[in-house]
Chain A
Amino acid sequence: MILSRKAKEAIKTALAMTIAYGIALSMDWDRPYWAGFAVAFVSQATVGLSVNRAALRMLGTVLAAIVALSLIAGFAQDRWLFILFMLPFVCFCCYMMGGPKYQYFWQVSGFVVIIVCFDSGPDPVNAFDTAVLRVQETGLGILVYSLVALFIWPVHSRSQFETVARDLAATQHQLFAAYRSLMSGEEGKAKEALQIRAQQAQQQARFGQLLNAAISDSYEVRELQQPWRQYQGSVQKLATVMERWHDSFAEIRTMDLTRLLPGLPAYLDEIDNRLEQIGLMLAGEAPQRRPGPVELTIDNKVAGILSHFDRAAIAVLYRRMQALEEITRVAFGALSGIRGYGQAPPIAESARPRPRFLPDPDRLACVARFLIIVLAAYLAFIYVEGWPGGPGFVGMAGALGMALVNAPQLPISKIYAPVTVSALSAGVLYIFVMPQLATFLGLGALIFAVTFVICYSFAEPQQMLGRAFGLALFVVIASISNDQTYNFLSLATTVMMFAVMIPMLALTVYFPISWRPERVFLRQLGRFFRSCDFLISIVDRPGGGSISRRDRWRKAFHLQEVATLPNKLGTWAPRIDPAALAGATPEDVRNLVAGLGELSLRMQAMVEASEPVKSEALVQALEGDMRSWSASVQGAFQHLSDNPAAATAITFRSRLTEIMDGLEQRIEDVLDRSSENQMGPVGAETFYSLLGAYRGVSEALVSYAGLTERINWDAWREERF
């Protein structure tokens, strides 16, 4: 009989859970379910993923134990001082949990501090034992699961990693082909490109996870860790560069590119070939040819008859195509070094910008929500006598609250069914089956069977919530220990605890701010336009004078907002209640988010392009005109941040076209007086890049306005609970 992958993974988790319980019970450790928890939550699809998660859980538990013991040592006598010093640490963990690195470490550190504090707080004499017990049982669960995963049907990450790397390369090749068609005017490819882009984003995230996992469980990958990281960096950059390249297409639609860029077909073939060779190398074959030289130049004679804006668009396109050439060469070199087909290019030591703290308002909002959950649980525990669960209620609220704010898009209603079904099933086992068991043979078989059924039934990634709740409630309700007692009251208390806790968690969806997806979407949209408004005002500073330190920080903050908000909006958009869309389709909302993504890229390009050219004579001569453009765009952003319905494509188009036409005329006049050659080749290129960026923002704004017209914003903005 051949077992499916799903069955094998369920057997491994069930076996590890049974062994962990067996060891903890034979050592006569109190609360053996902590070992069970560790097994339940570190089990992942491959050994490497599990080991990484296990390491983060272990380190998080150790840090949490140290912090919890320090808090108990310092403030066990005063509950207000205790909570006052505990909350900043927990909130810090909650904030860090939303960051790009070590999310699980911070999540575990945060909720384990609460659990240890509230388990030991009422009994400070045994606090040290409790903290140590938590650490050793977590270590036991992790060790047992790691050994089981290593020895029974081990699944190393390398093969999955290689598959994802191949898929990602194929997707990027497809995306390049789609963009190539779009550049040549085949508009029908736009929808396909959008889908490929979404696929690319998912594969990039998976590639990063599996690279970390493969480094942990595969010597071959660990040995080549640095080149793989370099390849990962170049793949990420390739995605960005392709986006920027695609972003320039709107302005060049009417131009004859084969005349303007005579080497264009050869250039595109060369890039296509490089991407194909990358795919071949990832499939384990030798490359058939190496990257060749690329001759891509702008024909100045043909470009000379274009308007200045069109010349700017060509300059921007040319620059982006150069970047694409460079990054595909780097990616090819990195991979050929890994596969042994050549020398990997030296890793460029780029000057890293000084890291500065840029707060993320969404993560801060999640912290506030978590703070309300923990404080409400704490106050209820203190002030309401006989509160179900007692101090355990606060620990459980902390752990659940952290999971909830980690995925704020997930509707709370999604947990009702798993909790109810898990509590009922665990209750039946606890009342009717467990009292019949006298030895570990029977108990072990029960633990194995229940864990297997839960893991097998909820094996898909989208069923993780059901699996987590199923295992957690079984472990909590069964309360397996050496001095096993059976009491209906403890079951009823646990059920009551969840019955009270879940409405409390639901309350935070409504108060103090609404977390309904459409409200969050509107708030983020407002922030996006406010940030655009600020960035325009910074670019528009007279004479390009130096900006203060505070403004530099604000600029970095708003740039971060503009760069990250379209992705965040993309995660909220599918969750919006169709009733709130009031006539618009989910497709309209997706297009709106894509339009914002375009505007975001163009805003970033504009800020980037504006930096080196402020001293150029031509820019100074046109300062007044550019300021008039900025004022107009800034006004538009201000209106949009107050009311997204303020955008109408016709108004924007007529206003911006008028200004751009004026600017075009002024450029002609100024150039007639000074001669373009006075700028020098570098000056001309940077000037046209800036001009192209200005035009790009105008076009993206008009295009966004066109997209918003399909949405009934009044209905969307209507106040709702």
Chain B
Amino acid sequence: MIGPVPHEYAIGGVYLPPMLVAAVLGLIAVLVTVRLLNRFRWSRYFAYPPLVFVSLIVIYTLVAGTFIIGT
């Protein structure tokens, strides 16, 4: 059985690699998430927020790559 095939995105005629789009979406989602975490003071529960930041980018990028780009 063939899984979902990642496809290129074209913005104004510029074809963008799926990984790039997923990474950008992941980054935007992380920026929103950390803003909310700071806003509600939940970030104090993390031992080292910079590492959490990068981990969230990886998670969000994979999620975006699997469910948005890959469909």
Contact = CB atoms under 8 A, between A and B. Distances in A.
Contacts of B44: 718-720
Interface string B34-46: 1001100101111
A719 B17 contact: no
A510 B53 contact: yes
A386 B16 contact: yes
Given A500-B24, A510-B50, A512-B50, A719 B43 contact: yes
A621 interface: no
B27 interface: yes
Contacts of B37: 721
B14 interface: yes
Nearest to B28: A503
Contacts of B51: 511
A445 interface: no
B49 A492 contact: no
B19 interface: yes
A507 B54 CA distance: 9
A721 B48 CA distance: 9
Contacts of A718: 41, 43-44
A510 B34 contact: yes
A163 interface: no
A719 B27 contact: no
B50 A489 contact: no
A511 B45 CA distance: 18
B49 A510 contact: yes
A347 interface: no
A492 B11 contact: yes
B20 interface: yes
A720 B40 CA distance: 11
A385 interface: yes
A453 to B, nearest CB: 26
Contact of A721 (B15, B20, B49): B49
Given A384-B20, A718-B44, A513 B13 contact: no
A721 B34 contact: yes
Nearest to A489: B13
Contact of B11 (A387, A496, A503, A719): A496
Nearest to B53: A510
A488 interface: yes
A510 B20 CA distance: 20
Interface residues on B, range: 20 to 34
A493 interface: yes
A496 B16 contact: yes
The DSSP consensus for interface residues of chain A is: loop
Interface residues of A, number: 24
Interface in A495-519: 496, 499-500, 503, 506-507, 510-514
Interface in B37-71: 37-38, 41, 43-54, 57
B4 interface: no
Contacts of B57: 507
Contacts of A488: 12-13
Given A386-B15, A489-B13, A503-B31, A720 B49 contact: yes
A474 to B, nearest CB: 20
Contacts of B16: 386, 388, 496
Contacts of A511: 50-51, 53-54
User: Which of A492, A512, A719 has its CB near the most chain B CB atoms (within 10 A)?
Assistant: A719
A503 B32 CA distance: 12
Given A384-B19, A510-B34, A512-B50, A720 B43 contact: yes
B14 A489 contact: yes
Nearest to A718: B44
Contacts of A387: 17, 20
A428 B24 CA distance: 26
Contacts of B13: 488-489, 492
A548 B31 CA distance: 50
Interface of A: 384-388, 488-489, 492-493, 496, 499-500, 503, 506-507, 510-514, 718-721
22 contacts: A385-B17, A386-B15, A386-B17, A388-B14, A388-B16, A388-B20, A488-B12, A492-B13, A493-B14, A499-B24, A500-B24, A503-B27, A507-B53, A510-B53, A514-B50, A718-B44, A719-B45, A719-B47, A720-B38, A720-B43, A721-B37, A721-B49
Interface of B: 11-17, 19-20, 24, 27-28, 31, 34, 37-38, 41, 43-54, 57
Closest 3 CB pairs of A and B: A721-B34, A492-B12, A511-B50
